[in-house]
Structure 1
Amino acid sequence: MIEHETPDPRPLLRRPEEGELIDVAGVEHFFRLTAEHTEGRFSFEEFTLEPGIVGARPHVHHGHDEYFYVLEGQLTLHNGDGEVTAGPGTLLAAVRGTPHGFRNAGTETTRALCLYTPAGYEGYFREVHAAVAAGAEVTDELLAEFRGRYRTTSS
């Protein structure tokens, strides 16, 4: 048996209401799985974006990959060459080193899924949320400071 395996592993079932809700700068991140659940392999979230909200300006991850899947509404995605509008069923793979960003330029609420591999970037959202709850203003400088801790730079 490999050291990190449990003697009798079981799948993890998460009910619709189970997860960690982190509201950051107008984006509701509902993490269904985090590093704590997956031994750091990946994290999985459903996020909600109201019309006119910028989820993330263009940036680049150097330590993890990020995959977006649109469930409802329209998500405007920066794909390194410009912006594209993505509707339900669209998938964007932002692997390490690729510039990307997203916003809701539409008129209806957008719901999408995001998968991070390996896990850990949920810590960025936790830190920003905690700073704002403590009275910090969300500025580009604040976000850059926190992103830097997670090997992420502006594009």
Structure 2
Amino acid sequence: MSSSEVIKAGQLEIRYLVDGTATGGLGVFELTLPPGANVPPPHSHRDNEEFFYVVEGSVTYSVDAETRELQPGEWMSTPRGSVHGFRNGGSQTARALVVLTPDIGAAYFREVAAVVNVGGPPDRAALVAVMSRYGLTPAAPPQAAAAG
């Protein structure tokens, strides 16, 4: 069953096509990503695998140590526990289909939207709390090179 609801979290738009939370199955959503939009910090999923397929535009996508510039028709897969992130550094809006199994559901994105849409910088602690409830863990910031 598809939905016409569009969840706006900052500049990102999420439109669920299949919300798998009712069955514990896979979920599918369309992600619209304007150029230079704020995106989630690199993170990992404790319980979910993710598949990211670019429909239009280009998206820089990273999984662990691999980073690629994905064009329409290209994809990357993120195993459970792998650190991943994405951004649109291009000049046109990008759209991607994202598949999660099992799904974290539209409710996760509604909660994230409630934190990031208040205006001003998002409350990082509140955002991390939402992520944690759904089994997502922000990656540790990269370590600075040791001073010699």
The normalised TM-score by structure 2 is 0.83
Shift of 1:134: 6.4
Q: Secondary structure at the match of 2:103?
A: coil
How much identity, in percent, do the aligned residues show? 34
1:55-83, Cα deviation, whole Å (9 max, x unpaired)? 22210100111110000000011221153
Rg larger for:
1
Question: Alignment partner for residue 75 of structure 1, among 46, 54, 59?
Answer: 59
Cα distance in 2, alignment partners of residues 19 and 118 from structure 1: 22
Shift of 1:139: 3.4
CA shift in 2, pair 1:118/1:44, >3 Å: same
Q: Which runs of 5+ in 2 are unaligned?
A: 140-148
The normalised TM-score by structure 1 is 0.79
CA shift in 2, pair 1:35/1:19, >3 Å: farther
Q: Is the deviation greater in 58-67 or in 122-131? A: 122-131
Q: Which amino acid aligns with 2:137?
A: T
Question: Alignment partner for residue 29 of structure 1, among 1, 14, 22?
Answer: 14
RMSD between aligned residues: 2.1
Q: Which runs of 5+ in 1 are unaligned?
A: 1-11
Shift of 1:54: 3.3
Cα distance in 2, alignment partners of residues 136 and 39 from structure 1: 37
Cα distance in 2, alignment partners of residues 51 and 122 from structure 1: 23
Q: Secondary structure at the match of 1:20?
A: coil
Shift of 1:49: 0.5
Does residue 91 of structure 1 match 2:56? no
Does residue 100 of structure 1 match 2:100? no
Shift of 1:130: 3.0
Does residue 143 of structure 1 match 2:127? yes
Cα distance in 2, alignment partners of residues 139 and 103 from structure 1: 20
Number of aligned residue pairs: 139
